[in-house]
Amino acid sequence: MTRTDLADGRLPAMRDDHFLGLEDAQLVGTESLLTTKDNIEAVIKAKAMMCAYGPAGYGKTMAVNSALRELAPRATYRLELRAGPTPRDIRHGLFKALRLPGEPPRRPSEFDALLKEALAEQFRVLVCDEAQWMSRTGFEFWRHLWDDKHTDIAVIFAGGDNCYRVLRREPMLASRIYIWQEFTRLPKNQIRKVIPAFHPIWATCEPSLIDMVDQEAAHGSFRNWANITAHLVSGMDKTGTEHVTEELIHWVYSKIGGM
């Protein structure tokens, strides 16, 4: 599996959504997750473009994948492009994700014609994950594909704040984004409800400890919570401890940089 071809462009298994492949982690129906489903449903219906943006670790990819598994599992094709992808990188990523036969054309005009022909055959949802790496020319290429009157696609960008800034700076691009969804940290008033449902080790934990971990280390980030939980599971297995304790939590802090 390469970085530009995640599982041949298809949606990953649900277990792969969680950071570190954390076992027993559950998808929790947060407000953000439910909003994402509503937004993607609207984008699919309109055959439009969407930008899901926010800092790393706040659940963008997980929410988008979850919604698409339910709404368009067979029509979704994902690309995860890194290090400032050029239009050439996007062309080749789409060629692989769509599993087009033969060798990629050498000339950009021929390559574009091939992609447009393939994208006109049936409706597809194209997801560009890690879109914070995209330059203006990269976004312009996606717009070029979407603008073509024959292609039958919806496009979802999921990326960091730079994704938002680049798109907003270009009126030609920004005006074509149907829905903007910002992902922020999990609100403190939801932590005590969401985290015990996220993983079994927190289900019997004292609420005050959950509050402490969020304030000192997790900061409303699901990725941080997954990392901390993975270390706790390991520590509990090694010590035979059945419940999360403050001592174990501070042991985890020593693993993740200290507090």
Nearest Cα to 196, choosing from 181, 183, 208, 207? 207
User: Within a domain: residue 218?
Assistant: yes
Same structural domain, 69 and 53: yes
Nearest Cα to 18, choosing from 199, 209, 157? 199
Element of type H or E holding 68:
helix 60-71
User: Within a domain: residue 1?
Assistant: no
- Is residue 88 within 8 Å of residue 138, measured between CB atoms? no
Flag whether pLDDT at 125 surpasses 80: yes
Same structural domain, 53 and 146: yes
Using pLDDT thresholds of 50, 70 and 90, give the confidence band for residue 258.
Answer: low
The domain boundary residue, chosen from 182, 208, 243 = 182
C-alpha Rg value of the chain to the nearest Å: 20
Tell me which residue range forms the domain holding 97: 6-182
Flag whether pLDDT at 259 surpasses 70: no
- Is residue 7 within 8 Å of residue 65, measured between CB atoms? no
Same structural domain, 145 and 211: no
| Across 41-63, average pLDDT | 94
Instruction: Centre a 10 Å sphere on the Cβ of residue 21 and count the other Cβ atoms it contains.
Output: 12
Same structural domain, 91 and 192: no
Mean pLDDT over the full length of the chain: 90
Same structural domain, 73 and 133: yes
- Is residue 194 within 8 Å of residue 186, measured between CB atoms? yes
The residue whose two tokens read 């990188």 is: 89
Q: pTM of the entire structure?
A: 0.87
* Exposure class string for 196-227: b at 16+ Cβ within 10 A, else e: bebbebbeebeeebbeebbeebbebbbbbbbb
C-alpha distance across the termini of the chain, in Å: 36
Same structural domain, 178 and 121: yes
Domain harbouring 44, CATH code: 3.40.50.300
Using pLDDT thresholds of 50, 70 and 90, give the confidence band for residue 158.
Answer: very high
Same structural domain, 193 and 167: no
For residue range 162-171, what is the model confidence (pLDDT) as tens digits? 889 888 888 8
Q: What is the pLDDT of residue 8?
A: 61
d(CA 167, CA 91): 20
User: Within a domain: residue 156?
Assistant: yes
Same structural domain, 100 and 228: no
Element of type H or E holding 156:
strand 153-159
The domain boundary residue, chosen from 125, 156, 182 = 182
d(CA 246, CA 251): 9
Same structural domain, 166 and 243: no
Q: What is the pLDDT of residue 166?
A: 85
SS3 73: coil
d(CA 65, CA 16): 10
Flag whether pLDDT at 6 surpasses 80: no
As a 3-state breakdown, the chain gives helix, strand, coil percent values, each rounded to 5, of 55, 10, 30
